[in-house]
A and B are shown apart, each in its own frame.
Chain A
């Protein structure tokens, strides 16, 4: 016989479920009130996610520092608007994704301009790029640089980082179907580039 014990939620479960949200709201309130300890805690907790998002878009080194700085300043300035309707991590992802993709687009445009004004074009791939690990990695970076940021984000997170599509959708603040479409197109573009390689 099947018993019902253990199936219904207990008051403890309910408290456990509301706990993190309540703690987040409290952390945000303290940040808004100028509590630097709370701000540090928020920063430490969410920095790795923001960093991964930025890295997935191919933004590295000094540029990564700049964009992470920019994102956290924006987060801080918008914290007063956080209503707790979504998880804080989701809310931060939305802000961060919007800003990082904007930055990546600007950067892509800059690189396009740089190529236009430069005395020469970017180095072509070495003829033997596919024969060494370093060659393949270098070439892959070049190919990824040619993808629109949204597609690059989907492809890198899925193919390299192994992040599930549902999580990428949350990171990118879009529907899972949209992620699949971006992934499909990114793959199609990469395959075409690879096949056109010398």
Chain B
């Protein structure tokens, strides 16, 4: 079986680029800064008020600003290391010295890292570099032509030039943050190595290790290791968002799709909304009537409605036979529809819950057809397990084994569990020498598995001879 992912087999540039975009998308990284900040707000939850919003009022009043902020947030970060050259050179990995205030190693002829007193202004001239330990323990490497002021509370402000800060991770607590002011921005970290650069027209921050937040008023942007932020991009996008444009046309790339496709008639849209509302309000009969009405038309809304009818029969009305009939209607009308695979799977899932040898045969045929039609489906493991179960029920253990073996271990908890036990049970039924080992392996890997008791029973039977038990 192939392990192709969605769009791995894409052959047109747009879909290839989409797969690339997904592969390159930022993975979630936990933010300690955010955790601390939110804790400061909820540490006394009995007194904390919920954040209230009047979406409509605020949305309307702040419409233009929001657009700017949205774009600001979206375009804020570049990944892959500092985009701008740094005058500081490679980082020194001596941050631990900073916490003690001790003199640090001084590569490239830099001066000893001495403590910068509160209230002092530290400056470097052309070609001069300095390393200073700030009153709160952070270490600052100043590039040439840089000025850093330290206020009475020991907080630094970069006035111009470029500084690399090393801030050792602190032991926690909401006050254990370090911040640097630069123009109207505040860079906040909890433990990081980062470079702040203040030029005549722009501010930039590059995080080398850890994470940083850049605050401007109540707006905040969060960046992680390898990312840079620049005020240029923010200013530029804000300017663009506020500027009039010749065309008010919506970009084709951003046109709504699917159920809100512009091709869908307004009436369809209203009916669709009403059908969804009825379904959500547990009024399946009304939802059914509305979906049937939609299905009698054409277009994407009709296709979607026909599929949803099956769902209502299945989920809310508990009428599986009618659900299958509805999905059959869908497949007959849209043999290559967008929801065809979903309809096939829904039919298999539903038939698998029904009794009767005729139903069993149909389920088997449906499942085999699915595997043939979608050999790379991500749900092939689940369907293979169903086929394995059906063959095992029929006593065709060799065929069952083949399908159980096709279930990847990563298929998901229940399916992988069922398939593992199914294999062992088939081997047991075939009086295969590997049955005991397979049952033992099942119990070892899944001591509390869904079939642990059955596996133990078969092992007990095996100890007295295979004739005693039937899997």
Contact = CB atoms under 8 A, between A and B. Distances in A.
Given A111-B66, A121-B248, A134-B79, A72 B35 contact: no
B353 to A, nearest CB: 12
Given A76-B45, A114-B66, A115-B67, A66 B51 contact: yes
A36 interface: yes
Interface in A38-57: 39-40, 43-44, 47-48, 51-52, 55-56
A161 B23 CA distance: 10
Contact of A180 (B80, B379, B463): B379
Interface in B422-471: 436, 439-440, 443, 447-448, 456, 459-460, 462-463
Given A51-B34, A61-B220, A160-B25, A109 B412 contact: no
B255 interface: yes
B6 interface: yes
Most buried by B among A51, A65, A106: A65
Nearest to A43: B39
B74 A142 contact: yes
Contacts of A4: 456, 459-460, 463
Contact of A189 (B219, B258, B346): B258
Contacts of A72: 38, 42, 45
B367 to A, nearest CB: 15
A155 B394 CA distance: 38
Given A43-B42, A141-B74, A177-B349, A114 B456 contact: no
A164 B249 CA distance: 40
A36 B43 contact: yes
A146 to B, nearest CB: 7
Interface in B323-349: 338-339, 341-342, 345-346, 349
A73 B12 contact: no
B321 interface: no
B28 A161 contact: yes
B55 A48 contact: no
Given A114-B64, A118-B67, A146-B256, A61 B250 contact: no
Interface residues of B, number: 99
Contacts of B39: 40, 43, 47
Contact of A69 (B15, B30, B38, B80): B38
Contacts of B459: 2, 4, 7
Contact of A122 (B67, B341, B412): B67
Interface in A73-90: 73-74, 76-77
Contacts of B414: 166
Interface string A111-140: 101111111111111000110011011111
A194 interface: yes
Nearest to B67: A118
Nearest to A68: B38
Given A113-B56, A114-B67, A137-B21, A197 B14 contact: yes
A43 to B, nearest CB: 6
Contact of B257 (A44, A166, A192): A192
Given A7-B443, A136-B20, A164-B412, A55 B42 contact: no
Contacts of B31: 51
Max chain A CB contacts within 10 Å: which of B15, B18, B46? B18
B66 A51 contact: no
Contacts of B447: 9, 13
Contacts of B413: 166
Given A62-B220, A195-B14, A69 B41 contact: yes
Contacts of B243: 120
A142 B254 contact: yes
Contacts of B12: 195
A29 interface: no
A113 B59 contact: yes
B258 A185 contact: yes
A142 B462 CA distance: 60
Interface residues of A, number: 92
Contacts of B463: 1-4
A30 interface: no
Contact of B42 (A7, A76, A115, A156): A76
A17 to B, nearest CB: 8
Contacts of A52: 28, 30
Nearest to B411: A164
A142 B123 CA distance: 43
A4 B7 CA distance: 49
A112 B464 CA distance: 71
B72 to A, nearest CB: 10
A60 B211 CA distance: 14
A137 B25 contact: yes
A22 interface: no
A160 B18 CA distance: 12
A2 B255 CA distance: 65
B190 to A, nearest CB: 14
B34 A64 contact: yes
A59 B51 CA distance: 15
13 contacts: A65-B34, A66-B51, A69-B41, A115-B63, A120-B248, A122-B67, A130-B14, A137-B21, A139-B253, A142-B253, A156-B25, A159-B5, A192-B257
Q: Which 10 A-B pairs have the closest CB atoms?
A: A124-B251, A130-B17, A117-B63, A110-B59, A76-B45, A136-B21, A140-B21, A113-B59, A114-B63, A194-B14
